Amino acid sequence: MRNAEERIVEIIKVLRQEYPSSRTALKHETPLQILVATILSAQCTDERVNQITPSLFQKYKTPADFAGAKQEDLEKEIRPTGFFRNKAKSIIQASKKMVEDFGGQVPDSMEELITLPGVARKTANIVLSSAYKKAEGIAVDVHVNRLSRRLDLSREKNPDKIERDLMAIVPKEDWLDFNYMLVNHGRKTCRARKPLCPSCVLNHLCPSYREFYP
């Protein structure tokens, strides 16, 4: 099997053919909405997040609105997403910082985004790519983590180290879409418990194929 640097271009080519319109499944219209939705999506399905955000975004339209929210009220509104206390706290505190330090706007750089409470590189990358079409990194969620190791693109387990390995081999022009293509493939085919290797469009490029189907 060729090494990752030799396989990555073909992997991306195949994924683009299979998932030509890859983008986040989180419904949003503004940078604030994708930021909040991404925070809510931690340890929660995108489908469930999308069920509660329409009414949430109808009520809270700006960072100032979220900054002025009562913790207990916001907790009730986002409870179905799980870990609602920490998520409510992060959203409120991040919104207060946006109001105080960024003129009530969602920052458009990695350096500034990661200063917001509750926002690490994964969330920042999704906001940058989805809201601002900026590529400053590659978001590493559970799907990207799993597929990166199965495809032997990285042998790390830490998301920041996986991102570092991916940024070293994935052409920068593909950074915007790489997360979303792997997420789509992870949901459809390369599932956590039982990957569908025989029907996988990447099985000829995947070192793990014979591990699951010897």
DSSP codes joined into one string, 118-160: T--HHHHHHHHHHHH---SS----HHHHHHHHHTTS----SHH
What pLDDT score was predicted for residue 201? Answer: 97
Pick the last residue of a domain from 132, 150, 178: 132
Q: Are residues 84 and 98 in the same domain?
A: yes
Residue 59's pLDDT band, with cuts at 50, 70 and 90, is very high
Supply the pTM of this predicted model: 0.91
Q: Are residues 166 and 124 in the same domain?
A: no
Helix (H) or strand (E) holding 24: none
Arithmetic mean of pLDDT, 63-89: 98
Q: Are residues 18 and 85 in the same domain?
A: no
Total count of domains within the chain: 2
Q: What's 66's domain CATH number?
A: 1.10.340.30
Q: Are residues 169 and 149 in the same domain?
A: yes
3-state secondary structure of 106: coil
| Average pLDDT of the residues of the chain | 96
Residue 17's pLDDT band, with cuts at 50, 70 and 90, is very high
Burial of 64 (0-12, 13-18, 19+ CB in 10 A): middle
With tokens 């010897």, the residue in question is 214
Q: Are residues 146 and 127 in the same domain?
A: no
Residue 211's pLDDT band, with cuts at 50, 70 and 90, is confident
The values of phi and psi at residue 205, to 5°, are: -115, 5
Q: Are residues 36 and 52 in the same domain?
A: yes
Q: What's 193's domain CATH number?
A: 1.10.1670.10
Distance CA 12, CA 15 (A): 5
Query: Does 165 participate in catalysis according to the annotation?
Result: no
- Cα separation values, 12 from 22, 41, 51, 70, 72, Å: 12, 25, 31, 45, 44
Q: Are residues 203 and 180 in the same domain?
A: yes
What pLDDT score was predicted for residue 2? Answer: 82
For the cut 90, the answer to whether the pLDDT of residue 213 exceeds it is: no
Pick the last residue of a domain from 132, 159, 194: 132
DSSP codes joined into one string, 52-97: HHHHHHHH--SHHHHHTS-HHHHHHHHGGGS-HHHHHHHHHHHHHH
Q: Are residues 117 and 35 in the same domain?
A: yes
Q: Are residues 10 and 94 in the same domain?
A: no
Pick the last residue of a domain from 82, 112, 132: 132
Q: Are residues 108 and 154 in the same domain?
A: no
Arithmetic mean of pLDDT, 32-42: 97
For the cut 90, the answer to whether the pLDDT of residue 49 exceeds it is: yes
Cβ 46 vs Cβ 25: under 8 Å: yes
Cβ 150 vs Cβ 48: under 8 Å: no
Q: Are residues 46 and 94 in the same domain?
A: yes
Arithmetic mean of pLDDT, 27-55: 97
3-state secondary structure of 29: coil
Expressed as residue numbers, the domain containing 90 is 31-132
Query: Of 141, 165, 172, 188, which is the active-site residue?
Result: 141
Query: Does 122 participate in catalysis according to the annotation?
Result: yes
What pLDDT score was predicted for residue 55? Answer: 97
Query: Of 97, 122, 174, 177, which is the active-site residue?
Result: 122
Q: Are residues 146 and 63 in the same domain?
A: no
What pLDDT score was predicted for residue 22? Answer: 78
Give which of 102, 103, 107 is closest to 123, Cα–Cα. 107
CB proximity list for 131: less than 8 A, separation 6 or greater: 28, 30, 31, 34, 35, 106, 108
For the cut 80, the answer to whether the pLDDT of residue 90 exceeds it is: yes
Q: State the distance between the two ends of the chain, measured CA to CA, in whole angstroms.
A: 15
